[in-house]
Amino acid sequence: MLVDGKSCANCGVFHCDHLDKEWPDFCVTTHTEDADFEAANDIYANDPETQKIFRAAAEIEGLYYGALTRVEEVALFAKKIGAKKVGLATCMGLRKETQTFAKMLKAKGIESVSAVVCKVGAVDKCKIGIPDNVKVRPGEHESTCNPIMQAKILNDEGTDLNVIVGLCCGHDTLFIKHSDAPVTYLVVKDRVLMHNPAAALYGSSMYYRRVMSPEFPPCRPVE
């Protein structure tokens, strides 16, 4: 339960991490019913799939903290949850990286990897209601990203874990929504910052002060 609209975004204490300070008056922990925490703990303890995923994540954090790259963590996570087939939902712009990652997974003993690129189906954006004037290149065929089909194809493949490799913001949301298998990220797309979106937060008081502006930068002219 939130108090006065405040949440963890307003906290500078984070007593919840080590219990070495004091709870702020609006703390989400102290204003949430014990029964809610007990219900969550019950799922961790008694739902087999949740327990498998949660335990694997905890073991990787605890035993390899600061030692593994994200690509290694994802591969190890797949092995720890017993994934027999891993699906890769990839951006067309990251197809080479995806091919390298698929080779790495096989080198780590995960033989069955299915990758589906975002432009699968080659459906023009106009056919699904996107105006021509908001294409990247108006007047040309421009295949839409197709996250629902990416998910459906990987669902049909019977993947045990799906990995997002740089899908567009929003397209990733649709992929997660329609994926039958659990989903994790390898790459979060940020075309400007070479897929390191946190850099804009680190630079929010300097080079990327615009992120704190109420206005977004102007888009290109739309005819």
Q: How many CA atoms lie within 13 A of 102 on its CB side?
A: 20
Q: Is the pLDDT of residue 184 over 90?
A: yes
Tell me the Cα Rg of the chain.
21
Name residue 13's amino acid: V
- Tens digit of pLDDT for each residue in 30-50? 999 999 999 999 999 999 999
- Which DSSP string do the residues of 114-155 spell out, in sequence order? EEEETTTT--BGGGGT--GGGSSSTTS--BPP-HHHHHHHHH
pLDDT digits (tens, 9 = 90+) for 80-114: 999 999 999 999 999 999 999 999 999 999 989 99
Residue of 212 and 1 predicted with greater confidence: 212
What string of DSSP letters covers 19-63?
S-S---TT-TTTTS-HHHHHHHHHHHHH-HHHHHHHHHHHHHHHH
Q: Residue range 113-136: average pLDDT?
A: 96
Please say if the pLDDT value at position 223 is more than 80.
Answer: no
127-139 pLDDT tens trace? 999 999 999 999 9
Mean pLDDT of 117-126: 97
* Alpha carbons 134 and 222: distance in angstroms, whole number: 7
The pLDDT of residue 208 is 82
- Angle ∠(60,194,75) on CA atoms, nearest 5: 25
pLDDT, tens digit (0-9, with 9 covering 90-100), for 185-201: 999 999 999 999 999 99
Checking if the pLDDT of 217 tops 90, the result is no
| pLDDT value at 207 more than 80 | no
Strand order in the sheet with 161-165: 112-117, 85-90, 161-165, 183-187
3 DSSP 8-state letter: B
